[in-house]
Structure 1
Amino acid sequence: MAERPATIRENGRAKAYRPLPEAARRAAFASALEAYERGDFFLAHEILEPAWMGASDPAERALHSGLIKVAAAFVHAVRGNAAGVTRNLEGARTRLRNGLAAGPAFGIDVAAVLVQVELSLAAVGRGGSPSPVAFTPTEVGVR
């Protein structure tokens, strides 16, 4: 039997998401990290969305949502939109803080990612360009 898609669409737009098994969420997370590392921030954002909506654990949802915002921030950075970078990094900060209590998830040290989000926000606040936030396990350390 074919697996049903995680996304339920109506008129071409996502209406709802079905719960995804952990293996599918982990695979999506790994694919999103690969896209992010290549600088394909938009694709990383798109890949993470169904995983975020398909998770039931609040800490996991907060992590996915925060990383979606980080990826969206760098879509704006590529386009030279400082306001979009700031807005999305601030949203990422809020969401990632909500996921902090759970500790590392999917090999990501959320506290280390938050430090980098703050550094990027400070760079944009000074009129500079933010460096993409490193959040892969090899960059921030797996616990």
Structure 2
Amino acid sequence: MPVASIAEATKVISDRMESDSEGGEVRVVRLLLDGAELAAEIHEGRIWRLGVSTRGLRTRTGLGVGTALSALLKLPKLQGEIGEGALYVWSPQLCGMSFRLSYEPQTDKDFRMNWNTRNLAALPRDVNVHSLLITGCAK
């Protein structure tokens, strides 16, 4: 979506350069959508990634910030990987969407782990969705 379309679709909170996870800067347009704050990262004049870190937006099946890991474990072919110092999970059923978990990897074992459904199910019961990343789907 072209960045110019954002203001037509929803309320823009801010539009500024922010630090990224690699020590650089990225243009981020923060917006409100259905009561949730989203961070739209802009690349070459287009939204390339949306981050959702507040409750409100949900998938059609009710998944969103605060959802228990046990609900995600019901998704087919759930898998995970550590990126940007956090554990993210995704399923092909939800193409273009990943969930950052509240679990914080700390040991070498965490970083080497094959984060499949079985290993994800062994995480503490209180692990939930910390935030969502939406990149779109190339189906």
Query: TM exceeds 0.5?
Result: no
Specify which structure has the higher proportion of strand: 2
TM-score, structure 1 as length reference: 0.28
TM-score, structure 2 as length reference: 0.28
Instruction: Look at both structures and tell me which one has the larger radius of gyration over its CA atoms.
Output: 2
